[in-house]
Chain A
Amino acid sequence: EAAVTQSPRSKVAVTGGKVTLSCHQTNNHDYMYWYRQDTGHGLRLIHYSYVADSTEKGDIPDGYKASRPSQENFSLILELASLSQTAVYFCASSDRTGLSGNTLYFGEGSRLIVV
C-alpha cells in the first residue's frame, strides 16, 4: 500500500515563529496535497502540487507557503505562525493514471499547536 510519512508528528510553536511541516512519499505519485483538519471537522485544501518545483493554491492558502523540491517531498511552511493555525495537517499523494487517479493516500497527520 501507498506510503506517506509526515514529520514532525506533533509540534508546539510560538506565535510569530516559523514552522515547517514535511511530507515524504514512496509511491512514485505525481500529485501531492496539504489539507488541514480542525477538531471534529472535515478537510480543507491548503496547497497542492502536480509536479516537482511547482505548487498551486488550494481553497485556504493564506498564511501558508508550499515547496515541492522533488517528486517525493512536499513541505508546508508557516512563516509567521498564528493561533488560528492550530490544527492537524494531513499530507496526501495520488497517482494520475486510471480511474483510481483521485484516490488520496494520506499520511498519519501532524498535530500543530500554536501558543
Chain B
Amino acid sequence: QQNVQQSPESLIVPEGARTSLNCTFSDSASQYFWWYRQHSGKAPKALMSIFSNGEKEEGRFTIHLNKASLHFSLHIRDSQPSDSALYLCAVSSGFASALTFGSGTKVIVLP
C-alpha cells in the first residue's frame, strides 16, 4: 500500500520569501504526482501536477520530481499571505487511479 509522507508539518514564512515543501512516496511504480491546496474551511483544490522526472513551473509555483529518490517538492516564489493554507501532496500509481494523499503541510505567510 502506498505511503505518502510530507515535511515539514508546518511552516511560517515572511511575505516575499521562498517556501519549500517536501513529499516522499513508497511505491516506485507511481506515475502521477499532485499538489493540492486547501484554505481553511474550504475544499481542497488542485494546484499543479507533474508526470515525468524534472521540473515544472507555473507562475510562482515550481514542482521538482525525482522518481529514483521517491521524492517530489513544491516551491513557492515570493510567498503571499493568500498562500497561507494546508498543502497536500498526492500520488497515484496509474491513470485515473485513486489518489493517496499525504498528511499535509500547514503554511502561514506573515505580512
Contacts and interface: CB of A to CB of B under 8 A. Distances in A.
A94 B45 CA distance: 12
Interface in A65-115: 90, 94-96, 99, 101-109
Contacts of B42: 108
A40 B106 contact: yes
B99 A106 contact: no
Contacts of B69: none
A58 interface: yes
B68 interface: no
Interface stretch (B13-21, B74-82, B88-96): B88-96
B92 A43 contact: no
Contacts, number: 56
Interface residues of B, number: 27
Given A43-B88, A59-B1, A102 B100 contact: no
Contacts of B61: none
B29 interface: no
Contact residues on A (Cβ < 8 Å of other chain), bracket: 20 to 34
A104 B99 contact: yes
A107 B43 contact: yes
Contact of B96 (A41, A42, A101): A101
Contact of B51 (A41, A94, A99): A99
Contacts of A90: 43-44
6 contacts: A40-B86, A42-B102, A99-B51, A102-B49, A102-B92, A109-B43
Given A104-B46, A106-B45, 4 more contacts: A40-B106, A59-B1, A90-B44, A102-B92
